Each structure stands twice: as C-alpha cells, then as structure tokens.
Homo-oligomer: A and B are copies of this chain.
Amino acid sequence: MNAIERTIRDWVIANRILAQNNVLDAYGHVSMRHPERHDRYFLARSISPAIAEVEDIIEFNLDGTPVDPGERRALYLERFIHGGVYEKRPDVKAALHSHADDLLPFSISRTIRLRPVIHNAGDMGHDVPVWDIADKFGDETTLLVTNMEQGRDLADCLDRNRLALMRGHGFISVGRTINDLVRLAVHIPRNARVQLAAMQMGEYKPLSRGEVEARLKLDPEAPTMKRGWEYWARQAGCEALL
C-alpha cells in the first residue's frame, strides 16, 4: 500500500472513531494533509463524518478549491478552516473541526479558560486560545468560517497551539499524525467535563507546566499512544482498514 492509500484509509478510520466517540456527529469534519504534496489536503465532500467512505474524499488545494476542476459534488462551507491551518502550520498533518458539546461552555465563558487537568489531555498544551469571529468580522455572521480570510484568522489565533475554541461554535484541533489528533480529540471533552465538575467543588490542581511539556514530548506513534486507535477502530467496525 502506498502512502496515499494509507492516508486515505487512515482518514476513513479517523472519521469512524471520532463519530463513535461523539467528537463528530452529523456535523464537523476531519482532514489530512496529502503525504506527498504538502500544499494539498484531503477532506470529505459535504457528508456527515460517520458515514464518510473512501469515495467521498476530495483532494483540495490550500485555498479550498478542489484539485480536480471537474469536481461537482457539494463541498463543506467551512473547508477553509483546514486550508488556513495547513498553510500556517507546516508541522500539522491532520486537523479537525468539531462541535462537541462539552467544549462549548468554555467557548462562551467570559471568566473561565479551559486548562489541562487530566494526563491524557495534557498535550492540549498550556494555552487554549478562544477565537471569536465577531472580533474581526463583526456581529452579523452566521458564526461559520466561510472564506480563506476567516480561516487564516482562526489559524492565527491557534498559533503554535494544538487546540483553539471557537466562540459559540466548537473547536479546532491539530496533530503531527492522525493518531496524535484523534487520541487528543477523544480526551479533550473528558478534560472539559472533569474541569467543570472540579470547579463546582472549589479550587483544583491543573497539570503543571512541566507535566504538559513532558506529555508533549511523548512519541505519538509509541505503542501506548496507539492502543486507543486500534481499539476504537475495532469498536467503530473498521478494523479491516487498519
């Protein structure tokens, strides 16, 4: 199997796992950078991630135009999120846009920031910026990211981090590998739930700066870090694609 075939299979697995774990549902999407053409990425046609198949994949230029000028299928309005991130961050190989409920309260809070509190979400990093589309694009948008200017502004907000919240909308997250992204994305909502509950009891201990750094240094492809990928693929019924 060549690198492109491997990428496409992994992309299908990622869609299934993220849906199975309620990170994606009818909406949201996950992309992977083209393994040989760093100025391109793979993303689905406009379809719910849980049912995306190999034939639903489309190859995009970073500006959000399909590589195939004959492409006629409906496209995600928000595909510019992915191009913005791949353009700004050469280290990123996979990106995700999700509406997972547990993150949303943190996206609209005026007082509380999401912080890493559980070890397996420690590599979300020290800082989780919150992007408010109204800051630059006014308060009459639909909150959707519908052009490259908005996609780039969101990527600027993400900066060197792994996760950015989008006010009243959801979040984006990125990975050095697809497993790196998926493993983190499964644990981020849990971190949010734990932080919310701990706050309801009073003062709590987040991970220290040193612990976050130690987590970020873990090899995302080590057996321990891949254990989830293999299990979730099996739970999601796509073990055959591993």
A contact set with B: CB distance below 8 Å: 26-27, 46-48, 50-51, 74, 76-77, 99, 101, 104-106, 108-112, 117-120, 122, 132, 134, 138-144, 167-169, 186, 190, 193-194, 196-211, 213-215, 218, 223-224, 227-228, 230-232, 234-235
Contacts and interface: CB of A to CB of B under 8 A. Distances in A.
Given A48-B231, A108-B198, A111-B201, 15 more contacts: A26-B228, A47-B231, A48-B228, A50-B235, A76-B224, A101-B193, A105-B204, A111-B203, A119-B143, A119-B168, A119-B169, A138-B210, A139-B210, A139-B211, A142-B211
Nearest to A235: B50
Contacts of A108: 117, 194, 198, 204-206
B230 A140 contact: no
B202 A200 contact: no
Contact of A208 (B48, B101, B139, B215): B139
A10 to B, nearest CB: 17
Nearest to A50: B231
B194 A201 contact: no
A130 B202 CA distance: 16
A218 B141 CA distance: 11
Given A138-B210, A205-B110, A190 B101 contact: yes
Top-9 shortest CB links A-B: A48-B231, A140-B210, A119-B143, A105-B197, A111-B202, A26-B228, A139-B208, A110-B203, A105-B198
Contacts of A218: 142
A110 B202 contact: yes
A142 B204 contact: no
- Among A101, A109, A168, A227, the most chain B Cβ lie within 10 Å of the Cβ of A168
A134 to B, nearest CB: 7
A228 to B, nearest CB: 4
B168 A118 contact: yes
A236 B99 CA distance: 21
Contacts of A235: 50
A176 B157 CA distance: 37
Nearest to A232: B26
Contacts of A27: 120, 227-228
Contact of A227 (B47, B141, B211): B47
